[in-house]
Structure 1
Amino acid sequence: MRILVVEDEVKIRRGMANLIENHTEHTVVGEARNGREGLELTELYEPDLVITDIRMPEMNGLEMIRNLYEQGSARHFVILSGYSEFEYAKQAIRYGVDDYLIKPLAPEDVICLLDSIQKKILRERSARLQNSPERELRDILIQSEYDSSKIFEVGEALSLPVAGSFRLLCAYTGCATQEERKQCMQRFGKLRGKFPGQRFYYFYIENTREFICLTENKNWESVKGELERKLLQNVLYSHGWVWTENIFEGLENIGVTYQKVREQYPYGMILGDTGFISKERIQEYRPVEYVYPVQLEHQLQTAFYGEKKEEVYKAGQRFIHYMAELRVKPDQIREGYIRMAHFMLSLSQEGNRRLYEQLLNLNLMKSIGTAVTRKELEDTLNREIRILASGLSQRENISNYTIKRALDYIRNHYQESISLEKVAASLDITPEYLSTLFNREMEQNFSVFLKKFRISHAKRLLKDTDKKIYKIAKEVGYADAKYFNRVFKDVEGISPGDYRALH
C-alpha cells in the first residue's frame, strides 16, 4: 500500500513512518504536519491509506477526512486516537474511517491493522477489475512506481495481450470545460463502433487534467485520420489542448511510456496546434536561434511612462505575437515569458505600489513556470497586461495634478543630480508640500521612489547592454560608482555585477 501519515508530533510521525518502512512491505509516500498539508499531499500522491491524528493545528484530522469524504475520495483512513478522543474516533466512522489505533502505539497492533486493510483493498481491487478495469488502469498510471503484477491483472481483465504492441494517446486538456471533456469521451466512444475489431480504453485524470486512451497498435493511420477529422479539429485547434501519441511494446511498459509522454507536453508550445506530438516529430524538429525582443520592452516602457493605456496593451500583444511565431526550444519560450513578466512587474513597482502588490498576489511566475500550453502562457501574460494598463487609468485619476508634473520631471531628469528641493522649485512649490503630496499619492517618500526608479533603469541596462558598470551608474544619475553599488545592493540584495551574471 501507499501510505500517508498525518501527525503534528514529529516523534510519533517519524516513529510511525519508520515502523511501516522497516517492518512491512508498504511504502510511506508522504508525511504531513496537519490536516491542510494532508489534503494537499493526498491530492499530490494519491495514497491508498491515510493514517491521521485528530487534534492538529490549522486543520484537524476530522476536518481533513470530512473534506476528502465530500470530494468523493476513495481513500482508506485510520485514526490515531488517545483515550480522551475516543468519541471523536467514533464520530469519524461516519466519514468512512476504517479503524482507529489507540496511543501509545503498539507495533504489533499497527502491523496487524495494516494487513487487514491491505486485504480489504485487494478485495476492492478485484471487484473493480471485474466492474471497472479502466479505473484500475488509471490508478496504476497516477502512481510513480509501477507494479507489473497489477498491470498484468488489468491487462487480463481488459483482454489485452501482455506481450502485444500498443499505442498510448494522451491529451493535456488545460482549462477544458466539463462539456468539452464529455465531447472528447463521446468521440472516442464512437471509435469503438467505427473500428469494432480494435479495443479502446480511455479515462480522465482530474488532478493532472489529462485525457488518456490505450489502444492496440493497429489501423493507426485510419484511427488517426478519424480522430483528426472528427475530434482534433474541434477540440485541439479551438481549445489549446496538447495531444501526444507513443507506441510501446509489452503492457508492462505502459508506466514508463506514460512518463515519457508527459515530458513531451511542453512541445505543445511549439507543435501543439499542428496535430499529434510524437517522439519522431520532436526528433525532426529543428529549433532556430533564440533572440529575446528587447525592443518590445522599450516600447512597453515608453507607453507606460507616457501613460498611454492603449499603447501598453498593444506592446504586450506584439510580444505575444512575436513569441507565437518563434520556433525555438520550449524552455526558451517559457524563459521569454518569465523575463517579460518580471519586466512588467518592475515597471509597476516604480509608480504604483498598489498595482505592484496586486500583480504579486497573482503568482504570475508560478503560473508561467507550470504552464504546459502556449495558450496558458498567453492567458497569464494577458492578465498582467490588463492589470498594468488598468493601473495607468488609476494613475490618470490621481487628483493632484502637481504629482503628475513631478513624475514627468523625474522621468526627464533622473540621469541628472536631482533632489526634492530641485523638483519642488521647478513646480514653484515648497519641498515640504511636495513631500506631503508624494507620501499621500504615491504611498512612499520621494527619495525611495527616485532610488527605485533609477535602479530599475540600471537593471535594464545591465541585462541588455555590455556597458561598464561605472558608465551605467552615471547614466542613471550616480556620479560615484561605489555609492551606486551600495544603493543597488540595498534595493536588489546583490551587487550590479552579480545581477548581470544572473541575467
Structure 2
Amino acid sequence: MEYFLLPRTSSLDVRWTGVFEARSGLVESSHHNPHYELIAVAEGPVYLQVGERQMVLKSGETLLLKPWEQHSSLKQTESGRFFWVQFSSDPPLHELGSSTNYSEDLNIVHALPNELRTSSRSDVDGLLIPRQFQLSNRYRLMTEFERLIEESNEPEGYYRYRMSLILAGMLGLIAEELRQSSNEFHIPVSFLTFRRIVNYLDETYTQNVRKEAIERSLERKYEYICQVFKKYAGITIVTYVQQLRIQRAKYLLSNSVASLQEIAAEVGFEDPFYFSRVFKKIEGTSPTVYRERTEIGLE
C-alpha cells in the first residue's frame, strides 16, 4: 500500500469540489490538474484509468491523486458516482511509497519532542493518508463531502475557511480509520507517563523540584520517571527544568526592569551566579548581554 504524510501544520486550501456521475457520458476524457485530488466513491463500481493503471473502485473506497496525475473514466455505468475535491497543501504531502516501514517511523507518538514546552520544532508529525483505502463507515465521509459542496456552491462569509476545516476533517477521518484498522499504531503506557511528567515539570519548574515530590505526584519510582523522560524527550529532567527556567528568564529580561538577582529568584535559582552560568551555557551569552541586545532589537 502507498501512503502520503500530511504534516499536522499544513495549510489546506480547497480549490474545486463536486460530484461525478459515471452515466454522464464523460468516458475516456483525460483529466489533469495541478493540485491533489481526493476521490470518494458514493456508489460503485467506478472504473478509472490512473496513469497506466486501470482501477475498479467500490462503494466507500477513496483514492488520493497526485498533482498533474493523469486520470479518466473508463466505463459508463448506471450507478457509478463519486465525490471529488481538488486541494493544495503547504507544505506539500510527503509521498512515502509502498516500501516505507511506516510502523516504525509513523507511529502515533513519533513527534515526541513537541511535547516539551521549550521545543521549537514544528510539523514533524502528521496524518498518514493511504493512497487507496476502503472505508468501513463511508456515510460520514459522504456527509462531509455534501457539506463541502454546499459551501462551494453557496459561498457566504468565511466559506473558504470553513471548506479548509471540512477538508481537514475528511482527511482526519481517513487517517483515523486507517489507524484503528492497524495493530501497528498504539500509544504505550510509558508515553502517557511521559506526558504526566512533562505536565508536572511545566507547573513546578520554578520550585525546588525534589525527587520525593515527583515520586509522590506521579506515583512512580524516580529512577523509572527519569528513564521514561529521557527515552521520549532525549534530555534529562534536570536539563529540561533548566531550559524552562531560562525560557522564563529570557521573557523577564526582555519585558521587565527586574534585576538579575530578582529574575534568578523568580525562575527558581537561589544563586544568581549559578543562574548566569546556566543561562550562558544554554543561550551562549550572559543574561546582561542578552538584555542589552533585546533592548536594541538584536534578539
Structure number with greater Rg is 1
If each structure's strand is expressed as a fraction of its own residues, which one has the higher value? 2
RCO higher in 1 or 2 (8 Å CA, sep ≥ 6)? 2
TM-score scaled to structure 2, two decimals? 0.36
If each structure's helix is expressed as a fraction of its own residues, which one has the higher value? 1
TM-score scaled to structure 1, two decimals? 0.22
